[in-house]
Amino acid sequence: MVVLRAGLCPGLTEEMLQLLRASGIRTVVDFVSSDLEDVAQKCSLSYKALVAVRRVLLAQFSAFPVNGADLYEELKSSTAILPTGSSSLDKLLDSGLYTGEVTELMGAPGSGKTQVCLGIAASVSLSLKQHVLFLDSTGGFTASRLCQMLRAWTEDEEEQAALQRIQVVRVFDIYEMLSALQELRDRLSQQVVCSMGPLKIVVIDSVSAVVSPLLGGKQSEGLAIMMQLARELKTLAREYSLAVVVTNQVTRDSSTAPLRPALGRSWSFVPSTRVLVESKEATWDKATTKRVASLAKSPRQPTGIQVELDIG
Amino acid sequence: KLLARLEGRSSLKDLEPYLFAEEGSPVHGHVIEFHGPEGTGKTEMLYHLVARCILPKSGGGLETEVMFIDTDYHFDMLRLVTILESRLVQRTEEMIKQCLGRLFLVNCNSSTQLLLTLYSLENMFCTHPSLCLLILDSISSFYWIDRSNGGESLNLQEMNLKKCANFLEKLVREHHLTLFATTQTLMQRSTNSAENPFPLKPQHETDIDYRPYLCKSWQQMVTHRIFFSKQCNSGSSTAFTVVSCYLKRNHVVKLSFSVAECGVQF
């Protein structure tokens, strides 16, 4: 709700404001939705001046329509597909993580979500030489494991450079996460070229750890903050052409029902792609468990595809 | 000029005969709501309708313009282009650009911005006579945020949406548009009537998981309500079902469709 004040736009003078306030028009919405002829008569203001102010206010506060052809041109040049470090996962995601979208990895504790996230961070930093922002809310980020992965792919000097491109921020509640995202947004919009080079991906492990404590109490407050976080993630992804990866827990309705993502119905609309990560006991003589990823939701591929992940 | 506007507007008749329970729908002035949980094909169906509108007559389309208001950054341009490419005989960049030139997209960040954007779009409807389809995906995205901002008063919570609904009705009526809006199934249908503040729907809809939660102004202006649901078969294909209800005459039609690379197929 934006309140009208002098200087908000040219033509909106203090005396005009006084007259408008006297007839009950206080916010931009009030002004735009009122009948200007009526207002001109009641407040003895010039109709033309009011129309001009209305036009400027609308131009300032409403969103502009974009032509589909122009948007397509823009997307063709700004969308990138980022490799996840696992070729089978790339195949599952139709060649990799798309920028401009939120991808969700869901799985039970211990199923390997953090491993997949580390793999993604390592892969993007190493092969694309792009910066990675890793928001860790579970404390599961281990630099040594990341080193191990990088060492398996390359030698020393590159490994150091790759590590430097990954920025880890530890956040323990939703407000810290929102402020970390706000800081990112400020940096991106000012295009400050400091230690933070070109950023293409944000990995959040995990989003359920900071959001679950909010839900289930005074319902609508928690849900509103969760939806604000969702909106922030989607806006970042679209406006700055980033790929956003989040991890989430799973629940099920009863012991026989299929697994579904945690955080409820409202959150389920947020990611455009959802992958279920499970670790299954191998049936052959190897003692190792295998990790399986299945596609639960995708805007491009049919769901239900399953692949075996080749990360540790 | 007025005549040209009216003529341009009435060409939506054959938009999608499968979806509508009676002949000659949708006509201008209709408000159609797509309702369903996530992953049930609502956005896919919208792409199907958009493609049908913007494709040239030679490609099986209606060659009309579409205004798409996206409230949660859901719109996937690449997917739409894939659908267009699979329906066009000549898949050239030129053709695709020509089709896309008939589509206008707006992103809104809050219910206030949505309201103000609707006001500024009014001008566009006046100047583009072949713009007869307005799509809003989705109108329920701001529900929780509005509810929390409105505090304890239900009136304050619903005020923005109510204003949007009223203005949309005015736009649809004055410019002879057809409005498609999606709403998400955010709540489960409560079987306990004591805790459910909203009245349950009549008998024939008891198999549908629908709990109305948006403001009355919106609910009253909807002329068709289409429910989407999904069944996961044991095989690899997923079947989507649509139940289409024409509210004025209590007409119900049930159909299923599947989603392929080229879009929705009935």
User: What number is the average pLDDT over the span A12-38?
Assistant: 82
Residue A3: inside a domain, yes or no? no
* Secondary structure tally for chain A: helices H, strands E: 13, 13
Longest dimension (CA), chain B: 59
Give A67's contacts in chain B (Cβ within 8 Å).
Answer: 100-101, 103-105
A88 & A21 share domain: no
pLDDT band for B23, please (50, 70, 90 cuts): very low
CA distance B75 to chain A (A): 10
Give per-residue pLDDT as tens, A251-290: 887 777 778 888 888 888 899 999 998 887 665 555 566 7
Say yes or no: A3 contacts chain B, CB-CB below 8 A.
no
Q: Which residue has the higher pLDDT, A35 or A226?
A: A226
Give A66's contacts in chain B (Cβ within 8 Å).
Answer: 104-106
Residue A67: inside a domain, yes or no? no
Cis peptide before B197 (omega within 30 of 0): no
Per-residue b or e along B229-238, where b marks 16 or more CB atoms closer than 10 Å to that residue's CB: beeeeeeeeb
A157 & A212 share domain: yes
Residue A207: inside a domain, yes or no? yes
* pLDDT at res. A197: 65
- CB-CB contact of B38 with A102 (8 Å): no
A88 & A39 share domain: no
**Which value does ipTM take for this structure?**
0.84
User: What number is the average pLDDT over the span B88-106?
Assistant: 87
Q: Which of B111, B120, B136, B185 to mutate to test the interface with A (most CBs of A within 10 A)?
A: B120
Paired sense of beta strands B224-232 and B238-246, if any: antiparallel
A26 & A97 share domain: no
* pLDDT at res. A4: 80
- CB-CB contact of A116 with A252 (8 Å): no
Q: Which domain holds residue A181?
A: 78-310
The reply to whether residue B112 touches residue A224, judged by beta carbons under 8 angstroms, is no
Residue A244: inside a domain, yes or no? yes
A117 & A148 share domain: yes
Say yes or no: B232 contacts chain A, CB-CB below 8 A.
yes
Provide the residue count of chain B.
Answer: 266
A45 & A139 share domain: no
The highest-confidence range among A265-269, B37-41, B67-71, B87-91, by mean pLDDT, is: B67-71
Domain ranges of chain B: 25-187+218-265
Residue A72: inside a domain, yes or no? no
Alpha helices in chain A (DSSP H): 14-22, 28-33, 36-43, 47-61, 68-78, 87-92, 113-127, 143-153, 156-164, 174-190, 207-211, 219-239, 264-268
- Taking each helix axis as running N to C, give the angle between helix A14-22 and helix A36-43, from 0 to 180 degrees, rounded to the nearest 10: 100
Give per-residue pLDDT as tens, B206-265: 445 667 788 888 888 888 888 888 876 655 556 777 777 777 767 777 777 777 777 777
Alpha helices in chain B (DSSP H): 2-9, 42-54, 77-87, 93-100, 111-127, 143-149, 154-175, 216-221
Percent of chain B surpassing pLDDT 90: 8
Residue B144 has its nearest CB partner, among A66, A223, A300, at A223
- Indicate the number of domains in chain A: 2
Residue A71: inside a domain, yes or no? no
Distance (Å, whole) CA B243 – CA B228: 7
What pTM was computed for the model? 0.85
Give per-residue pLDDT as tens, A67-117: 989 999 988 888 889 988 888 888 888 888 999 999 999 998 888 888 889
Distance (Å, whole) CA B165 – CA B149: 19
Say yes or no: A29 contacts chain B, CB-CB below 8 A.
yes
A174 & A39 share domain: no
Give B259's contacts in chain A (Cβ within 8 Å).
Answer: 302
Give per-residue pLDDT as tens, A49-72: 888 888 888 888 888 889 989 999
Instruction: Tell whether domain B25-187+218-265 is in CATH 3.40.50.300.
Output: yes
Q: Which of A67, A233, A265, A269 to mutate to test the interface with B (most CBs of B within 10 A)?
A: A269
The reply to whether residue A299 touches residue B79, judged by beta carbons under 8 angstroms, is yes
A141 & A199 share domain: yes
Interface of A with B in 225-264 (CB under 8 A): 225-228, 230-231, 234-235, 237-238, 258
Residue A235: inside a domain, yes or no? yes
A36 & A157 share domain: no
A85 & A232 share domain: yes
pLDDT band for B202, please (50, 70, 90 cuts): very low
A231 & A288 share domain: yes
- CB-CB contact of A209 with A250 (8 Å): no
pLDDT band for B195, please (50, 70, 90 cuts): very low
Burial of B67 (0-12, 13-18, 19+ CB in 10 A): buried
CA-CA-CA-CA torsion sign (A302, A303, A307, A309):
positive
CA distance A163 to chain B (A): 32
Chain B nearest-CA residue for A55: B120
Say yes or no: B21 contacts chain A, CB-CB below 8 A.
no
Give per-residue pLDDT as tens, B44-66: 889 988 888 888 888 777 888 89
Q: Give A5's contacts (C-beta < 8 A, 6+ positions apart).
A: A12, A17
Say yes or no: B17 contacts chain A, CB-CB below 8 A.
no
Whether B197 shows a pLDDT value over 50: the answer reads no
- Taking each helix axis as running N to C, give the angle between helix A113-127 and helix A156-164, from 0 to 180 degrees, rounded to the nearest 10: 110
The tokens of A156 are what? Answer: 């020393």
Residue with token string 């992103």: B107
Q: Give A223's contacts (C-beta < 8 A, 6+ positions apart).
A: A214, A215, A264, A266, B144, B148
CATH number, residue A99: 3.40.50.300
* pLDDT at res. A154: 78
A169 & A23 share domain: no
Residue A68: inside a domain, yes or no? no
Distance (Å, whole) CA B112 – CA A286: 59
